[in-house]
Structure 1
Amino acid sequence: MFVSWGSVVHRRRWLVAIAIVLFTVVGGAWGAGVFGQLSQGGYEDPGSEAARATATAKEALGRQGGDLAVIYTVPTGTVDDQANAAKITDRLRALPADKVERTLSYWDTRAPQFADAEKKRGIAVITLRSGDENEKISQYPELRDKLQVDGVRTEIAGFVPMAAAINETTQTDLIKAELVSVPLTLILLVVIFGGLVAASLPVAVGGLAILGSLGVIRIISSFTEVSTFAVNVASLLGLGLAIDYGLFMVGRFREEIAAGRATPDAVRRTVATAGRTVAFSATLLVIALAGLLLFPQGFLKSVAYGGMAAVGIAALVSLTLLPALLAMLGKKVDSLGLPWRKNKRAAAEDGRGWHRLASGVMRRPALVAVPIVAGLLLLGAPFLGASFGAVTEKVLPASNATRQATETLNANFPGLANDGAQLVIKSRDGSAPDQRAVASFAASVDNVPGVSAVQVTGAAKDVVTLSAKLPGDAMGSAAKDAIGAIRAVSPPPNTDLLVGGITAQVTDSLDAIIEQLPLMAIVVIGATLLLMFLAFGSLLLPVKAVVMSALSLSATFGVLVWVFQDGHLADLIGVTPGPLEAGIVVLMAAVVFGLSTDYEVFLMSRMVEAKTKGAGNAEAVATGIAKTGRVISAAAILLIVVTGAFAFSDVAMMRFVGVGMILALVLDATIVRMLLVPAVMRLLGNAAWWAPGPLRRLQQRVGLQESDDLPEDAETSRSPQPVG
């Protein structure tokens, strides 16, 4: 199939190129409108008990709490002074009625919890009229300006300001990352390829992959909620993988041209070998990302959509536009070469160092493998102590105004902090719950160790809501244990109890992830084992690939926990230590596993080529390392540049992803691929290539294996080389 496709692309190169460019550019222009349709939520399980508690209370009592908490700090006097009070109340009354549904402030209620002890700060809680979170976020910049009071310090906290701040920051970070990474990537490609024309091809593919993925994401957002992080993930993977795929394709094409093949034959062979591997690797990565669709959280589904779109478009452009451009260029792919570009002889010797490295490792495989495995396991050990929390204001930098406002709110208005438990009692027959039974239930909850301040907060029809203060930090183990103990308390007769609140949401979300994680592992690992067997015809090679990826993944997460949770080097990279967000960890697991398998496929494909041509086990391994060592290292460096830009993001979650990708790529492309893999392959010996006869015949019939041993096409070999 890939041989035929290579021939088709060469014959219809102009048609293919024009069609793909139009498809991606038009899709990207239309897809740019997706930014106004993205959400900031989706971190909780919508079917969890906590989510049902919130929905039940909202249905019976209306929306609880407000969307904005505005803290006014007066410069002189107190918040009770007439001059200060008049300025603030006038401003609050002037808010647009079409956007603001309700305002509850200290100056309306004189409630003591709405002012601090010194009466220097007063608070107003504002509920917006819209029920759509995205609309609220879009309205916030206008309201923020209207809430400012001359001569009074104004700070605004709440979900809407935090979501708006994260949204604005991630969009800014995305632009900055691309402005830095794209030019730097082009420079590196020029150095790697030794010429401007060859270097520009992967970058062009990467840019078009991003545009195309934006169009796909906008289509998806028309049918379901999509998180703003889907665009970040699509940008990261689309640009990075398209450049990597372009590097492999262009490198293989130049190798074929250097071997003296005519352009048509070189294009056909490039698509049949490197192109087949690109398609196979992209399929594995899409499967890994598709595993995220098994989780109920909208955030994980969103990044799965974005990642799958980016990988799919990157592979599509690499298998269509790129070979079409190569067909147009022919030997001109090396045009605009650098004056210090290596000659053909030097280029041919590039793989000798990698060959010597692999041969040296295989002379003492156990001496290399054992310390590396032990070191990777040691690096992964901190992950055993990982704890998980929610997305809070701490994902923003300490200098961010929204984070500072939230910290002011939590420190000075503890009675308004949204960190307790919400208890919702709902009657089974539609009657109002018995007041005595509710009081007895409240007393029982108050007796739970660490739980205090249990009180009724609302009652309507067949629903009664209560609040309870939890022990310690809302994300701490004591608070999470208290949630479990409260849920174990028997509710009043003929009623059902639902426990919500931020701690319950995080607990339920983590439970949902843990419940689905084995299924994701079975699907992703099972598909990887099956497809790699069909590609390589061995039972042990796929197992080895999964084990290598798991070791790389565990080491990466161990270091991330050591930094982002335990706080080592946290000041250096500018993050506030705290519990990890479980959804981000699962996302990273899927991406890192997929990328690790991606490099494994490129490495093993060249080993299989050598083995198919009659090389022994050790020589096949050394040849595979020699053929791919420079390319994989270059691909990893380029992807580090692209993803590493996110390590400087002002949003801690994106910084977590950026640092994690750098760690994973460095470990995987160097220690694992270039040292551990040849050592393990030597230890396995010829058994690494074994498969039972019936399975081997099945694999050969399916024909997913890649081969460089393609028959010459006399007609294409004699055809003149195109010049444009």
Structure 2
Amino acid sequence: MFVRWGSVVYRRRWWVSALVLAITVGGGLWGLGVFDKLTQGGWDDPKSESALVNTIVQNELGQRSDIAIRYTAPDGTTIDDPAVAGPVEAALYRLPADAVARVTSYWDTRAPQLHAGDKYALATITLAGNGYDERQAAYGRIADQLRVPGIQTEIGGQLPTEHSLSEQSNSDLAVAESISIPVTLILLVLIFGSVVAAALPVLVGGLSIFGALGVLHLLTQFLEVNNFALNVASLLGLGLAIDYGLFSVGRFREELAKGADTASAVRTTVATAGRTVAFSATLLVLALSGLLVFPMDFLRSMAYGGMAAVAIAALVSLTLLPAVLGILGHRVDKFAVPWRRAEREPRLLGKLAGAVMRRPIAFVLPIVAGLVLLAVPFTSASFGAADEKQLPPGASARVAAESISETFPQFSNRAVRIVLRGEVTDPAPFIAAADAVDGIGPVHPVAQRGEYTVFGADVESDAMSDHAKTAVRDLRQVAPPAGTTMLVGGFSAQVVDSVDAITDRVPDMIAILVAATLLLMFLAFGSVLLPIKAVVMSLLSLSATFGVLVWVFQYGHGAGLLDVTPQPVQAGMIVLIGAIVFGLSTDYETFLLSRMVEAREAGMSTKDAIRTGLVRTGRMISAAALLLAVVTGAFGMSSLATMRFIGVGMVVALLLDATVVRMMLVPAVLRLFGDAAWWAPKRLRRWQQRSGFGERSELPEREPELV
């Protein structure tokens, strides 16, 4: 199948090149409109108890506040002085009625909860608009009108915080790409020793990002897509396309160096590297599809962006790239750098392969022990959610949120809302029972309208602490008054509901990852043990990565260097990194094993096949991991803690997986397996051979080349 496709691409190379360029560039130009279609919401389970409380409080009781503004009276004045009250009230009254639905301020209501001493007063604004995007647009219209000259004005609340996150994300994305693409191109020139060869993977990466924009724009016509989907699409589109281009161009040049003509080199490249790219991309797409089992729109958005970018990277690598290689032929080495040398066996890899073959147990035991040790911090992980601390410490939206939380706790993340549905004749016994819950502050009535009665309280510790989450769970166990039902909401409740929604569905995601890996790797290699080993290796690598992330981002070791605030890790980011890293782990595993299986089918012994596969692919896998680490490292330079979490996690995973795991642990385990590594029951083997996915028979026969 892949051999035939390679022949077709070569014969129609000009048509294929023109068609793929037209589709990706045209789709990308249309996709530039996606930036105005993305949302910043979708972080919570929309069917959770806390989400239902938000809906009731906002829609039934009309208590939604999108913006909270703290005003600080200048020295020598108070909030009641006309020189303070007059300008503030005038600024609030001037806000356009078509953008603002309601303004509630201390000066209008004299409500005690809206002032703190004589220095601070609060105003809340409810924006006009039926949906989240309409309210975001309304905020963009009035943002510059909220500050009062001469009076310290701090603008906080959900919408300003998410608006800042969106703006910072888009800015960081542009900076990351401006850094990663030039650095990647320089590294590719050093790796390939040729400007033309180096430019091809970058071309594939750029087209992959461009094409992903078009796919995301199409999805926004029917679905809500979170802004961070762009970051994931850019990261994976550029990183994976460069990896795929690296392996394909490297194999093409290898075939030319062996004396093959251009047509044969293209055909062999597609049948080997191209086939591996197809399997790797399919595995990664299926791994990312595991995110679709979660109810949060932001995780689904990450899946959309990642799946689109990876699929397009693979399609471009299987169409445009071999077509361009067919056009270039030996000119792929055009503009070679002066220091380029002839290809030869990497001495270090040769020595490493020899050492692993001689003493496999000496490599397996300490590496497994080290990975398990790195994973230990993950066993005590505490899970949280995104808040203003995702912004850098000096960001105005974060400063405002922290200032408001300090002086007006009822508007902070520690606030709890209790909704009773039904007639409440005597709330005193219920209030007493709720007050008795450990970790919950005094419960007080807030509002009553129709069949709903709302009470307010605070958690007595940090909103994302284990103590606060336990307090919310205990509060939900309090018996409501007879004839009523109770719902508990607030930020701590949202954290509880989000973590529960994720942990409940993690087994489904793991089942998808494991099943896809076992099936596809069996189809690719015809072995039972190789897919099982790949799953175990990937889980070891992934657990170690999670342990390092918890050690840094939760425990705070090195947090100062990264300029992040230690706090519970986001459960959503853990599953996102899990899907990506698991896919990338099997990606490198597939590239490594494909050369080993190829050597084995060419007649080599198991020991020689393992050594040959390691030496042939080790340098390329290391180079691919280095390049992807550069790309993800650039995204890790983002000022947003979320992106730094992803960037650091990816770099750690790549360094562990592409060096320690793939270069040492995998060959050592295979050496211990011996010939059993290639075993499969006869019926399964026949089924795999009939499927055509393991096809190599159409390739030109060569004598086994022992490395």
The TM-score range, normalised by the shorter chain, is over 0.9
Query: 5 Å matches for 1:503-582?
Result: 503-582=492-571
Measured after TM superposition, the shift of residue 204 of structure 1 is 0.5
Instruction: Say yes or no: does 1:583 pair with 2:582.
Output: no
Helix, strand or coil at the partner of 1:489: coil
Partner amino acid, structure 2, of 1:187? I
* Per-residue deviation, residues 68-122 of structure 1 (Å, max 9, x unmatched): 11112232311111111111111111111110111111111222322223x2222
**Do structure 1's residue 439 and structure 2's residue 423 form an aligned pair?**
no
2:405 is aligned to 410
**Which range moves more in the overlay, 542-551 or 687-696?**
687-696
Q: Measure the CA separation in 2 of the matches of 1:372 and 1:269.
A: 36
Alignment of 1:251-650 (within 5 A): 251-343=250-342, 347-350=343-346, 352-427=347-422, 433-436=423-426, 438-650=427-639
Partner of 1:209: 208
How far does residue 516 in structure 1 lie from its aligned partner after superposition?
0.7
In the alignment, is the contact (CA less than 8 A) between 1:265 and 1:712 conserved in 2?
no
Find the counterpart in structure 2 of residue 430 from structure 1: none
Question: How does the TM-score come out when normalised to structure 1?
Answer: 0.95
In structure 1, the residue corresponding to 2:485 is in which secondary structure?
A: strand
Find the aligned partners of 2:181 and 2:121 in 1 and give their Cα distance. Answer: 48
Q: Contact 2:39 / 2:227 at 8 angstroms: preserved in 1?
A: yes
Question: How many angstroms does 1:709 deviate by?
Answer: 6.6
Partner of 1:722: none
- 1:355-377 CA deviation, whole Å, 9 max, x = no partner? 32112112111111101100110
- The residue type equivalent to 2:49 in the other structure is E
Q: Which moved more, 1:623-632 or 1:38-47?
A: 38-47
CA distance in 1, matches of 2:428, 2:180: 61
CA deviation profile, 1:418-445 (whole Å, cap 9, x unmatched) = 4222111113xxxxx1321x33222221
Q: CA distance change for structure 1 residues 415 and 711 in 2, over 3 Å: closer, same or farther? A: closer
> Identity over aligned residues, as a percent?
56
Aligned CA-pair RMSD: 1.4
* Cα separation, 2, equivalents of 1:287 and 1:649: 28
Q: Deviations over 1:172-209 (max 9, x none)?
A: 00000000000110011111110101100000110000
Q: In structure 2, what is the equivalent of residue 694 of structure 1? A: 683
Could you tell me which amino acid in structure 2 is paired with residue 36 of structure 1?
D
Q: 2:640 aligns with which of 622, 632, 651?
A: 651
Give 1:58 shift: 3.1
Residue 706 of structure 1, CA deviation:
5.4
Alpha carbons 1:27, 1:211 under 8 Å: kept:
yes
Aligned to 1:672, which of 640, 661, 664?
Answer: 661
- Residues in 2 aligned to 1:711 and 1:378: alpha-carbon distance in whole angstroms: 47
Q: CA deviation at 1:464?
A: 1.4
Matched residue type, 1:417:
S
Distance in 1 separating the partners of 2:696 and 2:372: 36
TM-superposed deviation, 1:135: 2.6
Deviation at 1:131, TM superposition (A): 2.7
Which runs of structure 1 show a deviation greater than 6 angstroms over 4 or more consecutive aligned residues? none
More deviation, 14-23/172-181:
14-23
The structural deviation recorded for 1:499 is 1.3
One-letter code aligned to 1:57? V
Partner of 2:476, secondary structure, is: helix
**Residue identity matched to 2:5:** W
Please tell me whether the aligned partners of residues 9 and 319 of structure 2 are also in contact (alpha carbons under 8 angstroms): yes
Retained in 2: the 8 A contact 1:195–1:336? yes
- Corresponding residue pairs, total: 701
Note closer, same or farther for the CA distance 1:284–1:637 as it changes in structure 2 (3 Å cut). same
Q: Distance in 2 between matches of 1:401 and 1:349?
A: 55
Offset of residue 534 of structure 1: 1.3
- Are 1:137 and 1:163, in contact at CA under 8 Å, matched by a contact in 2? no
Alignment correspondent of 1:721: none
Paired with 1:360 and 1:180, the residues of 2 have a C-alpha distance of 38
TM-score by length of 2: 0.97
Distance 1:168 1:138 in 2: 13
Which moved further from structure 2: 275-284 or 65-74?
65-74
1:135-154 to 2 correspondences below 5 Å: 135-154=134-153
Q: How does 1:59-208 map to 2 (within 5 A)?
A: 59-62=59-62, 64-76=63-75, 77-117=77-117, 119-208=118-207
Partners of 1:100 and 1:129 within 8 A in 2: yes
Q: Secondary structure at the match of 2:553?
A: helix
Greater mean alpha carbon deviation, residues 120-129 or residues 594-603: 120-129
Aligned residue in 2 for 1:41: 41
Q: What CA distance in whole angstroms lies between the structure 2 residues aligned with 1:297 and 1:291?
A: 13
User: 1:277, 1:706 within 8 Å by CA — same for their partners in 2?
Assistant: no
Q: Is the 8 A contact 1:535 1:703 kept in 2?
A: no
Shift in Å, 1:270: 0.7
Query: Displacement of 1:142 after TM fit?
Result: 3.3
Three-state SS of the structure 2 residue aligned to 1:51 is helix
Q: Secondary structure at the residue paired with 1:348? A: coil
Tell me the distance in 2 between the aligned counterparts of 1:192 and 1:709: 31
Q: How many angstroms does 1:566 deviate by?
A: 0.3
Q: 2:674 aligned to 671, 685, 696, which one?
A: 685
The residue type paired with residue 342 of structure 1 is: R
Cα separation, 1, equivalents of 2:693 and 2:21: 29
Which deviates the most, 37-46 or 165-174?
37-46
Provide the C-alpha distance between the structure 1 equivalents of 2:529 and 2:424, rounded to a whole number of angstroms: 65
Match of 2:705 in 1: none
Q: How many angstroms apart in 2 are the aligned matches of 1:122 and 1:463? A: 29
User: Which SS does the other structure have where 1:711 is aligned?
Assistant: coil
Q: Is the 8 A contact 2:414 2:460 kept in 1?
A: no
Deviations 1:6-53 (A, max 9, x none): 111111111111111111111111111111111112111111111122
Question: Structure 1 residues 99-108 or 169-178, which shifts more?
Answer: 99-108
Shift of the 58–147 alpha-carbon distance from structure 1 to 2, 3 Å rule, reads closer
Q: Secondary structure at the match of 1:451?
A: coil
Q: Cα distance 1:678–1:706, how it changes in 2: closer, same or farther (>3 A)?
A: farther
SS at match of 1:126: strand
The answer to whether the 8 A contact 2:235-2:632 is kept is yes
Question: 2-side partners of 1:397 and 1:370: how far apart?
Answer: 41
SS in 2 for 1:453: coil
Name stretches of at least 5 consecutive residues in structure 2 with no aligned partner. 703-707
Structure 1 unmatched runs, 5+: 428-432, 714-724
In structure 2, C-alpha distance between the alignment counterparts of 1:92 and 1:198, rounded to whole Å: 61
2:277 partner SS? helix
SS at structure 2 position matched to 1:47: coil
On the 8 A contact 2:239/2:627 being kept in 1, the answer is: yes
Letter in 1 for 2:115: A
SS of aligned partner of 1:69: strand
3-state secondary structure, aligned to 1:491: coil
Q: CA deviation at 1:700?
A: 1.3
Greater shift, 314-323 or 149-158, is seen at 149-158
Matched position secondary structure for 1:568 = coil
SS in 2 for 1:70: strand
Residue identity in the other structure for 1:382: P
